[in-house]
Amino acid sequence: MFRKFLGAFIFLSLAVCSFSISAADNSAIFDAGEVARKLFIQKLGEEPARNTDLSRYIRNINNYDVGIGDSGECYVVVFRLRDRRIIGGGGEVWVRKSDREVVKFSGYE
């Protein structure tokens, strides 16, 4: 339950925050987003495939909203299902700024 709350809090925090960034920062953010997207797609592929509409929906990357935040040393990329009626799903990927390496992945249940 706490993980769901934390995920929702981070997602809403990212949605509300706005800040100006330089072109170099912009490129780094997009790079981090792409690293996180690739990992998240991989994680979706590891989920057991079931022949249901819900399973197909959850396994489709296009059904997720994405938010990116700055935590100092890392970018935090949050994936959240667009259909808010579905409880769970999504996750967050922490990408280190210095080398664009994933340092943490948390899937939401």
Each residue of 19-53: pLDDT tens digit? Answer: 445 555 778 899 999 999 999 999 998 888 788 88
pTM of the model: 0.74
13 or 99, greater pLDDT: 99
Each residue of 68-107: pLDDT tens digit? Answer: 999 999 999 999 999 988 888 899 999 999 999 999 999 9
> Is the pLDDT reported for residue 6 higher than 60?
no
pLDDT of residue 19: 45
- For the chain, strand residue ranges (E) read 64-70, 74-81, 91-96, 102-107
Q: How many other C-beta atoms lie within 10 A of the C-beta of residue 74?
A: 19
